[in-house]
Every structure is written in structure tokens, then in C-alpha cells.
Structure 1
Amino acid sequence: MQIALHHVQLAAPPECEEVARSFYGGLLGLEELPKPEGLRGRGGVWFRCGAHEIHIGVEQDFRPARKAHPAFLVDDLDGLRERLERSGVSVREDVPLPGYRRFHASDPFGNRLEFLQALG
């Protein structure tokens, strides 16, 4: 049996779509994916992230994920940090991981995100 990751879903409040597009599509540069017809009425927005997908789903009683988080592997951590900070996103350092540089930030909804770059 083979198991692989297809997507990660992050919750967001109702009417989050334009803010999600601005952050995930504009700031992070992820490609927006069309939602299947049968799921469009639920709201939210989907993005391609390498070979995987990030789904921003609407949750009526939304509470941000402050511990659970996706980790994004990037090839220019310093450039991303600068772009995020210029846009007013707070960046937080964390304990180093062997073989990586990393930091954490929050999306506009308060969900924790990790960004990593391999050393070497």
C-alpha cells in the first residue's frame, strides 16, 4: 500500500476568499485551483503548492490553528521573510531543525504557518 499527501486544509472564517487569494495567491505566489462544482457553494478557495494542494475552507465557528500547521519548503527563505515583513506579516523564529533554516508566521486568519529552507 502506498500513501501520499494530496492536500492540507486550513480553516478560515466566512467570506474569507478575497483575503485568502491576496495572501496565498498574491503574497505567497500559489496558483489558485478551481473548486469542483459540487463544492463551490461551501465557500473557500484552493491553491496548488508544488505537487500538493492547500485548501482554505470556511468554518462557521472559526478558530485559528495556533499549534497544528503546514510547513512550506521554499528556496529563498530570506526573500520570503522580507516580502512577508514588508506586507506587515509578523515573522517568528523557532528552535532550529537539523539541516534547515526556518521561521513561523500566521496567515491573515491567525493560522500558524512554517517556512523552511534546506541548508547547503
Structure 2
Amino acid sequence: MPSSHENDGIKLPRLQHVSLSIKSGSQDQIRAFYSGLLGFQEKQAPASLAARGVVWFAAGVGEIELHFVPDTYLQRSEEARHFCLEVSDMEAYRNALKEAGYQIIEAEPIPHRPRFFTIDPCGNHLEITTILGDYTQA
């Protein structure tokens, strides 16, 4: 499948973010810990998600991020706990996953970041995205 990086001539997806569930109302504690103590820079969350109380931090070069999602946002906290892969051809991944019998779960839109979720054989949620531009410039 096409993707973002190469390893011995094989293109691989790139880890884009890790998302974890937090208790609703604990955003200030998360900010104090990850920004105040550990030094991560908080990022503006997309407008489509910001009203839900999500907190995002830059976690490295190339838009690697940590996302924290209040447990009231999703019905099941395991949906909030996931990692995201950035790929160059999202539809190729969507088609390959469908053909292999994996469920495709459509996601709430973020400007310039088409995305969907799937669930691996052990029940872990995985987000697949392609970054087409800056979500804050929509």
C-alpha cells in the first residue's frame, strides 16, 4: 500500500498521534502535567472538536501529537484511546481494510484531514488520515 515514508524501498505509514481518554473536567490538570511539567507545547484543536474539550499537544517534529479526549465525548472510552497513522493514499488503505473484512468507521470531519477508524484483530482502535493542509486555515 502507498504511504508516507520508506524503509528498504517499502513505503510505510507515519505515526501522526496518540489519543487518550481523560476524565471530563480534568483538562487543566492535563495541561499542568504535559505542558507545565513535561514541556509539551499545547496546540489549537480543530474548531469541530474544540467545543468538546479536547486538548492537543505537539509531541515532536512533523506534526506528531498527543490528544486527550474527555470521557464524555465518546460513548466508549476505548474509542478515545487510539493511535493514528498518516498515509499518502487513504483510499488505498480504506479499500484494503474493507477487502480484508475490517470495519470502516467514519469520523467527525476535521478540515484538510480526511480520516476514518478501524479496529485491529485485538480490538484496538486505529485512525487512518491524510494531511492535506493546516486544519486551522479552513
Q: TM-score, normalised by structure 1?
A: 0.49
Q: What TM-score comes out, normalization by structure 2 length?
A: 0.43
